[in-house]
């Protein structure tokens, strides 16, 4: 089945391995003419549903970003895997995990490779699989981010982004300004992301360069609520962590409202699960091969507080096509800490609050001469002390510790005072709700779920039952034969329909049935045939892919009719048109 689909994809221009003239590269695929358009259509549908209809806005950030971004995001630490391979049995193990499991050391991930090798030797660590000695075996570093140099030399390392999200997070200060500092607001981005996978697999499912469509919805966790009413009745197929851990775990079907009320899904996640369900269904994902699966506690990413995956069943395997993650304030907090900018939003109180605040205003003309280089740090220490423990300023002297040294400062020189301050609001770190769609996997799912074979008079017909909304070629136009003027009429119709914005393919090669089958295999939902009668009555045969039914429609109605069919305003079955005489 998947072999058939991959073969069809290659033959019909959906996708194929890149650079095969040079032997190919593992994990890189090229979308052919049909595939690129299908992917565009899926992206457009996503934009329409997750962005435009939700009132969010899109940005377009670089794919290369400097190292500090990924130091802050945590990717640099958690993206480096240290692997040690057993010389006896060939099994690979995470070196840091071996150390953590067999010693008192925690967070071995941040230890340099050479020290890890020493630690393995010192503790005489052995292969968990076959107990062979691992001392002296080199530890290899697998960096799953693609590294590059920005500018000449290697003084400014950069990385290809492993997710598009960071491009949104790092620009949060500008984006918040754009949103006039009002929460909530959402920012989307569609673009390439890169992961240097150890072992790319399953054609387009696990690749090294892929397209993500991400939404980062910034909310105030204390007061913002999702507009649940819009999707309250949408039914979700849920596979919770609890059910997964049972031997006979089952899916439960709940509406979005029920899932929230019963505490199964976080309300913001639930909202987007509802939006997502509507979207998957609209582009042709088979809902019998679809579920939402909650991440198990040990499975969650370093940034994620709760996470549900949308999964589709493809060739009997469940694949993740979207991650719905409640990232809390992890990312903004990290960038707030690591960068010079402010990643908070100022939230004004309804009523200003009057609060007492203890402050210091140290007399630097005293601290400086008295304590020299430590003076600045002492002043900082006094400030934190005042916030934390104002009683410390009750006596004649205040004691602070700086760099292991204790200093005594006369209280009068600290400028300590308790004042009433009017606070009009506070700085809050927004929380982030993130639906992160793997476009390539969605495209693969759409193709796989559309793949049908019919038996027609003993012959197999292969057909991609793609939704008209996403089908890359929307209509095929054929002259019954290219003679007696039928070709000219068909070419005119082709031009007119293209001018109306439709994707049209013209084909006059071979028997008419053959041409229908070609389009069936590409997934073209409709075909128009110009015959001898058309030359008399200015009408043509319109044929639908899935039913192979035909109706006769006037040429002048074609563009409106087809536009309605594409937009879903009408269906072929609803057309009030006569069947052709044959």
Partner RNA sequence: GCGCCGGUGGUCUAGUGGUAGGACAUGAGCUUCCCAAGCUCAUAGCCCGGGUUCAAUUCCCGGCCGGCGCACCA
Q: Which stretch binds RNA (CB under 7 A): 51-59, 195-203, 224-232, 375-383?
A: 195-203
Closer to RNA at the Cβ: 302 or 427?
302
Residue 155 sits at φ, ψ, to 5 deg, of -80, -15
Q: Which stretch binds RNA (CB under 7 A): 149-157, 194-202, 336-344, 422-430?
A: 194-202
Judged by CB under 7 A, the residue of 57, 126, 206, 491 near RNA is 206
d(CA 540, CA 555): 6
> How crowded is residue 363: how many other Cβ atoms within 10 Å of its Cβ?
16
Do the Cβ atoms of 426 and 350 come closer than 8 Å?
A: no
Closer to RNA at the Cβ: 26 or 253?
26
Strands (DSSP E) found in 161-301: 185-194, 209-219, 235-239, 252-255, 290-294
| Minimum distance from residue 549 beta carbon to RNA (Å) | 7
Whose structure tokens read 């006039």? 180
Question: Of 466, 314, 469, 442, nearest to 4 (Cα)?
Answer: 314
Judged by CB under 7 A, the residue of 1, 52, 130, 198 near RNA is 198
Contacts of 549 (CB under 8 A, 6+ apart): 543, 572, 579
Q: Burial letters for 545-576: b for 16+ Cβ neighbours within 10 Å, e otherwise?
A: beeeebbbbebeebbebbbebbeeeeebeebe
Alpha carbon 366 to its chain centroid, in Å, reads: 56
| Minimum distance from residue 13 beta carbon to RNA (Å) | 10
Closer to RNA at the Cβ: 129 or 348?
129
Judged by CB under 7 A, the residue of 64, 105, 113, 144 near RNA is 144
The mark string for 519-558 relative to RNA (x by CB under 7 A, - otherwise) is: -xx-------xxxxxx-----xx-x----xxx--------
The mark string for 486-525 relative to RNA (x by CB under 7 A, - otherwise) is: -----------------------xxxxxx-xxx-xx----
- Residues between 1 and 60 that touch RNA (CB under 7 A): 2-3, 7, 10-11, 17, 23-27
255 touches RNA (CB under 7 A) = no
DSSP 573: G
Closer to RNA at the Cβ: 201 or 353?
201
| Minimum distance from residue 528 beta carbon to RNA (Å) | 9
Judged by CB under 7 A, the residue of 191, 200, 284, 525 near RNA is 200
Closer to RNA at the Cβ: 232 or 301?
301
- Residues between 77 and 136 that touch RNA (CB under 7 A): 78-79, 81, 83, 85, 90-94
d(CA 304, CA 172): 19
The mark string for 365-384 relative to RNA (x by CB under 7 A, - otherwise) is: --------------------
Do the Cβ atoms of 413 and 362 come closer than 8 Å?
A: yes
Question: Of 75, 124, 41, nearest to 442 (Cα)?
Answer: 41
Return the SS3 of 349: strand
Do the Cβ atoms of 347 and 428 come closer than 8 Å?
A: yes
Judged by CB under 7 A, the residue of 38, 65, 137, 145 near RNA is 145
- Count of residues that interact with RNA, criterion CB under 7 A: 75
| Minimum distance from residue 550 beta carbon to RNA (Å) | 5
The pair of three-digit structure tokens given for residue 546, joined into one six-digit string: 């899935």
The mark string for 275-314 relative to RNA (x by CB under 7 A, - otherwise) is: ------------------------xxxxxx----------
d(CA 486, CA 268): 57
Closer to RNA at the Cβ: 202 or 230?
202
């Amino acid at each position: 089945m998947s072999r058939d689909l991959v073969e069809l994809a290659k033959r019909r221009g959906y996708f194929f391995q890149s650079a095969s003239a040079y032997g190919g590269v593992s994990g890189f695929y090229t979308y052919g003419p049909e595939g690129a358009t299908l992917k565009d259509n899926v992206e457009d549908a996503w934009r329409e549903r997750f962005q435009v209809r939700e009132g969010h806005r899109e940005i377009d950030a670089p794919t290369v970003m400097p190292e500090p971004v990924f130091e802050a995001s945590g990717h640099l630490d958690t993206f480096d895997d240290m692997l040690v391979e057993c010389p006896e049995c060939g099994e690979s193990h995470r070196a840091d995990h071996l150390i953590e499991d067999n010693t008192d050391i925690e967070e071995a991930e941040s230890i340099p490779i050479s020290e890890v090798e020493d630690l393995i030797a010192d503790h005489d660590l052995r292969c968990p699989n076959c107990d062979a000695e691992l001392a002296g075996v080199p530890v290899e570093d697998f960096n799953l981010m693609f590294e590059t140099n920005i500018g000449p030399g290697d003084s400014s390392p950069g990385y290809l982004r492993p997710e598009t999200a960071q491009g949104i997070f790092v620009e949060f200060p500008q984006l918040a300004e754009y949103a006039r500092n009002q929460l909530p607001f959402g920012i989307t981005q569609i673009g390439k992301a890169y992961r240097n996978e150890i072992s790319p697999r399953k054609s387009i499912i696990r690749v090294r360069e892929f397209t993500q469509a991400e939404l980062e919805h910034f909310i105030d966790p204390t007061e913002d609520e999702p507009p649940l009413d819009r999707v309250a009745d949408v039914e979700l197929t849920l596979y919770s962590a609890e059910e997964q851990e049972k031997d006979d775990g089952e899916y439960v079907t709940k509406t979005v409202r029920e899932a929230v009320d019963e505490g199964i899904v976080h309300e913001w996640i639930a909202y987007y699960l509802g939006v997502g369900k509507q979207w998957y269904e609209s582009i042709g994902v088979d809902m019998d091969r679809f579920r939402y699966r909650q991440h198990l506690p040990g499975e969650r990413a370093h940034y994620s507080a709760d996470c549900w995956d949308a999964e589709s069943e493809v060739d009997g395997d469940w694949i993740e096509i979207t991650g719905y993650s409640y990232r809390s304030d992890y990312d903004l907090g990290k960038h707030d800490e690591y960068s010079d900018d402010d990643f908070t939003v100022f939230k004004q109180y309804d009523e200003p609050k009057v609060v007492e605040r203890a402050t210091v205003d140290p007399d630097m003309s005293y601290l400086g001469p008295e304590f020299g280089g430590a003076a600045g740090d002492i002043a900082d220490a006094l400030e934190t002390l005042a916030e934390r423990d104002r009683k410390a300023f009750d006596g004649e002297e205040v004691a602070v510790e700086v760099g292991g040294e204790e200093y005594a400062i006369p209280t009068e020189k600290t400028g300590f005072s308790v004042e009433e301050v009017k606070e009009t609001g506070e700085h809050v770190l927004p929380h982030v709700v993130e639906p992160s769609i793997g476009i390539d996997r969605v495209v693969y799912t759409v193709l796989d779920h559309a793949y049908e074979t019919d038996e027609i008079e003993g012959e197999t017909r292969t057909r991609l039952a793609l939704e008209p909304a996403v089908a890359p070629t929307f209509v095929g136009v054929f002259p019954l034969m290219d003679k007696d003027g039928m070709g000219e009429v068909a070419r005119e119709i082709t031009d007119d329909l293209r001018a109306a914005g439709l994707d049209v393919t013209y084909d006059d090669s071979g028997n008419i049935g053959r041409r229908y089958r070609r389009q069936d295999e590409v997934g073209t939902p409709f075909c128009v045939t110009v015959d001898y009668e058309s030359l008399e009555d200015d009408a043509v045969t319109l044929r639908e892919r899935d039913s192979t039914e035909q109706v006769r429609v006037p040429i002048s109605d074609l563009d409106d009719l087809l536009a309605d069919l594409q937009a879903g305003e009408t269906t072929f079955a609803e057309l009030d048109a006569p069947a052709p005489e044959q």
